[in-house]
Amino acid sequence: MEKETKRAGKVEIEWLPDKTDRMPIYRQIVHYVGTKISNGDWVVGDRLPSQRQLADLFHVNRSTINEAMDELKAMGLIEGNFGKGTQIINNTWSLLVSAKPPNWQSYIEAGIYKANFPTIQMINKLEFMEGITRLSTGELSPDLFPHDMMRKVFQRIPERTRSLNYLGPLGLPELRKVLSQYLRKHNIHVSPSCILIVSGSLQALQLISIGILHPRSTVFVEVPSYLKSLHVFESSGMRLEGVQMDDYGLMPWMLNKNRIKDDTALLYTIPTFHNPTGTVMTKARRKEVFEWCRKNRLPIIEDDAYRELWIDRQPPEPLKSMDHNGMVLYMGTISKSLAPGLRIGWLAGPESVMERLGDIKMQTDYGASSVSQWALAEWIESGLYEEHLQVLRGHLKERRNMVLSVLDSCYKGIASWNHPEGGFYIWLKLNKNISTDKLFQLALEEKLLINPGNVYDFSKNKNIRISYAYAESRALENGLRKLSELIRKLY
Amino acid sequence: MEKETKRAGKVEIEWLPDKTDRMPIYRQIVHYVGTKISNGDWVVGDRLPSQRQLADLFHVNRSTINEAMDELKAMGLIEGNFGKGTQIINNTWSLLVSAKPPNWQSYIEAGIYKANFPTIQMINKLEFMEGITRLSTGELSPDLFPHDMMRKVFQRIPERTRSLNYLGPLGLPELRKVLSQYLRKHNIHVSPSCILIVSGSLQALQLISIGILHPRSTVFVEVPSYLKSLHVFESSGMRLEGVQMDDYGLMPWMLNKNRIKDDTALLYTIPTFHNPTGTVMTKARRKEVFEWCRKNRLPIIEDDAYRELWIDRQPPEPLKSMDHNGMVLYMGTISKSLAPGLRIGWLAGPESVMERLGDIKMQTDYGASSVSQWALAEWIESGLYEEHLQVLRGHLKERRNMVLSVLDSCYKGIASWNHPEGGFYIWLKLNKNISTDKLFQLALEEKLLINPGNVYDFSKNKNIRISYAYAESRALENGLRKLSELIRKLY
């Protein structure tokens, strides 16, 4: 559609806007004129036809021309002048398009919150790559999603929900009542007013970080720890300090007492099916940990995300079940056991702390999705959640056994590993030091995605987190075999 | 059940645990022993019967006694000694219960995030009080909830959703596609990769605050502004600076240029059905504002939460529709027009900024509820959202007209007000200076809840935000009449 000749002083136009195009006509005109100028076809000082002439030339009405001219003026490319008509006064169209917008990069760099670790950012994106096999992903396979049960739950939601208005700071009262009842199953006795609904466990940590800690607080975590892969505390200035583990769980006597002072420290622990090592803290060790923290007045965040995912036997009761003095902030979720997409977790602890964190939640996102909250209440109350868990445990057992047998046949001599009794994870310890980053790259070339252990640890190490929960069984098996070959190659 | 006698040296027990009680038996024993000690019934040096004897006395098995004794030891009340049996060594039970827990108050006070304004905290709670009439609430009445349409939407979700796994950083791709298409209706042309799904508009602001600003950044806001009622920027150290408005919207030439430096400032504006004044920025003023900001390289956050709620005529197109250089971060939501309980909003802007904010969202809550995201995609695609909006506009018109006629009949001579063409709000300006806090209290005694204007303004003032959207029509009418009487009383 483009044909035109240029004459000094006054431009000539032999072009028509495309009325079938999705781009508004006035913007097509802006784009046309802008391109003419930036191409140097039209130069500073050139005059445009009058608005009436332009309307005729473009077969459009005056208001469209008006709009286009206004924008070109706003861009500083032309200037209207009653005496002289409209003139081109600038040729910096390309500059306007590329360089004049705000310098967002400098805004981004100024931002307070740390960017995610490059490896994690990469994993977050690669997970959605076509054809990739995710050997380390910490969630249930889509195959394990209880679709028919979910349908039943969704049918019930409209019956229970007269509206979906804003809720109070602690979350849906009906759900908090259901959870108060549900937690008794684990020997935790808390009233609904001591339960805060959050949009997943990670948000609970985020609220704790900005709600009850200050920038010089210390957060003790197991070595290795899932928490090390997050910036949730460090972005607000807190310091993570590692506590060594043995096969029975973290060793409280290894804690650096000097860092517990002025009521500023917390211990974060996953005592049950620990992420990433799969360790279950024994009953005796739980008592030791609890007692140590009580004596030293060190509050505990107990992350119990994996409790329901036991395979061989029920794990010992939570630390929270020993707590009569509000020592423990207890975190639960259905993200690992049912569906992360609901984005619902809960935090149980002293009422004053729950109120403080609820107040901040109101100030940052006005609460969690009511739809998700109603859905979870229905899942638990209907008994479908328990039913689902029983089925799920069977599937996880099969998957775990399959993976353990692949490890037995392909990884002997190159690695050692734990035999998890629940949860998702096998912590694969390589026998030799190799670059797990290099392994990550090699695996990626084979369309295998792994989470290198150094994401979770305090120093470079030679571990890989394997999850038997996510990948499709056949792909998981083949992927693990392939991975063993890559490791051998690097040895 | 309680009867016992005390003998020096050895305690005597004539009490039995209640096996029908919900409290676990071992804990009943702990509670019984602890109470005896704290009451002074049993004193330091007293010896308890042997564990075998206790098991017989309480009619329970040894492991229960063992558990109870372990806990009493952990509390430091008794000490086991193979030679001497079990002895009471401490009588600080009450101290243990009340004083020994962590000093949560000092944790709470140390927290980084500011507590909500006391008035807002109070409003957040009072809103759920039985029988209260909410004259200022910024959401749709439960009466206006499209229950039947919601049922249809929920029936469709399981068909669309094969699983509810974690999503990528920007949110559900299907919803971003739907929104990219939907925004064209408002002459906004952005690709799905420039849209970030958030858990409501407030979270968009929270992400902006920690993602692209630093503690000395300035955020310009209208005077008065909804933003003034939040700590979302101030909690991270940013400074709010007011910009005066007239009837055509904010006056950009009043902006303090000295504060726009080093790429650290932003302008936050609600050009359409402004909260709390109801003002609609004219088309001409929009151009002025946009042009002023472009020249001064001041990025704009355009909060367009109320756009779809026009009553008399469609408002001018968004500032974002003029934006070709990524000047504007555009915020949309269905919280005001459909249901806040879904907790879904969106942010449209330059890809690099959306990626940065999406990365932080992943680090703080792993994304918005997938259920809610699917629900919204279905609402829009099915055409039900548009259908709902048409019905809703009729209801809002009725409500607005009713409220305006009550104001005409009861508030003449004591106040002046705007005639909103959409949105929720009437900004009631009292003719005389009275304490709106006192009015708040008086209204509360009549079970009327109002949002005093000073919540939104930079200084004490004499305004009240009225919303015609929330309260049941009859209660709204009566409440407003009553309120006028209270105001007259205070004059």
The residue-averaged pLDDT of A413-426 equals 97
Q: Who has greater pLDDT, A11 or B431?
A: B431
Instruction: Quote the pLDDT of residue B90.
Output: 74
pLDDT in tens, B30-69: 888 877 776 667 777 778 888 888 999 899 998 899 888 8
pLDDT in tens, A185-221: 999 999 999 999 999 999 999 999 999 998 889 999 9
**Sheet strands side by side (includes A195-198):** A195-198, A345-348, A328-333, A300-303, A266-269, A218-223, A239-246, A249-250
Which chain A positions have a beta carbon within 8 Å of B102's beta carbon?
263, 297-299, 326-327
Q: Who has greater pLDDT, B79 or A248?
A: A248
Instruction: Quote the pLDDT of residue A92.
Output: 60
A350 and B104: CB-CB below 8 Å?
A: yes
Instruction: Give dist(CA B321, CA A431) in Å, integer.
Output: 59
Please report which helix (H) or strand (E) contains residue B220, including its range: strand B218-223
* Pair A238, A218: CB distance under 8 Å: yes
Instruction: Quote the pLDDT of residue A148.
Output: 94
Interface test with A, best of B72, B212, B227, B327 (most A CBs within 10 A): B212
Give residue for tokens 């007492």.
A257
Comparing CA positions, the residue from B57, B59, B53, B64 lying closest to residue B26 is: B64
Interface test with A, best of B209, B324, B355, B455 (most A CBs within 10 A): B324
* Pair B318, B307: CB distance under 8 Å: yes
Please report which helix (H) or strand (E) contains residue A406, including its range: helix A384-410
Closest Cβ–Cβ partner in A325, A363, A367 for B232: A363
Instruction: Quote the pLDDT of residue B317.
Output: 98
Its sign, for the CA torsion B431, B435, B439, B442, is negative
Question: Could you give the angle at the alpha carbon of B320 between the alpha carbons of B316 and B323, nearest 5°?
Answer: 120
The residue-averaged pLDDT of A359-380 equals 96
Tokens of B320: 């974002």
The set of residues, in sequence order, having a beta carbon less than 8 Å from that of B39 and lying 6+ positions away, is none
Instruction: Quote the pLDDT of residue A28.
Output: 84
Instruction: Give dist(CA A246, CA A323) in Å, integer.
Output: 24
* Pair A377, A368: CB distance under 8 Å: no
* Pair A456, A425: CB distance under 8 Å: no
Whole-number CA gyration radius for chain A? 30
Bond preceding residue B276 cis, omega within 30 of 0: yes
- Phi, psi dihedral angles at A88 (to 5 degrees): -80, 125
Interchain CB contacts (distance < 8 Å): A and B? 327
Low-confidence ranges of chain B (pLDDT < 70): 1-9, 22, 38-40, 81-84, 91-101, 262-263
Residue A397, pLDDT above cutoff 90: yes
Residue A110, pLDDT above cutoff 90: no
Instruction: Give dist(CA A106, CA A126) in Å, integer.
Output: 27
For chain A, how far is it from start to end, CA to CA, in angstroms? Answer: 64
Q: How far off is chain A from B145, nearest CA to CA, in Å? A: 6
Q: How far off is chain A from B324, nearest CA to CA, in Å? A: 7
The CB density around residue B311, as the number of other CB atoms within 10 Å, is 19
Asked casually if ipTM beats, i.e. exceeds, 0.95, the reply is no
Tokens of A440: 């990550």
Task: Give the burial class of A292: count Cβ atoms within 10 A of its Cβ; 0-12 exposed, 13-18 middle, 19 or more buried.
Answer: middle
Strand-pair partners of B462: none
Give residue for tokens 């090592």.
A277
Q: What is the average pLDDT score of chain A?
A: 90
Is B57 in a helix, a strand, or coil? helix
Question: Could you give the angle at the alpha carbon of B301 between the alpha carbons of B297 and B304, nearest 5°?
Answer: 140
Q: Which residue ranges form the domains of chain B, and what is each CATH number?
A: 25-98 (1.10.10.10), 118-141+387-490 (3.90.1150.10), 160-386 (3.40.640.10)
Residue A100, pLDDT above cutoff 70: no
A232 and B103: CB-CB below 8 Å?
A: no
pLDDT in tens, A133-186: 999 999 999 999 999 999 999 999 998 888 899 999 999 999 999 999 999 999
* Pair A461, A437: CB distance under 8 Å: no
Secondary structure E strands in A247-361? 249-250, 266-269, 300-303, 328-333, 345-348
Alpha-carbon separation of residue A231 from A436, B302, B411 (angstroms): 21, 29, 54
Interface test with B, best of A35, A319, A324 (most B CBs within 10 A): A324
Instruction: Quote the pLDDT of residue A449.
Output: 97
Which segment, A72-81, A106-115, B211-220, is predicted with the most confidence on average?
Answer: B211-220
Task: Give the burial class of B101: count Cβ atoms within 10 A of its Cβ; 0-12 exposed, 13-18 middle, 19 or more buried.
Answer: middle
pLDDT in tens, B337-360: 999 999 999 999 999 899 999 999
Tokens of B168: 């990528």
Comparing CA positions, the residue from B39, B41, B26, B40 lying closest to residue B73 is: B26
The residue-averaged pLDDT of A411-422 equals 96
Q: How far off is chain A from B491, nearest CA to CA, in Å? A: 35
Q: Who has greater pLDDT, A151 or A86?
A: A151
Instruction: State percent of chain A over pLDDT 90.
Output: 64
* Pair A136, A444: CB distance under 8 Å: no
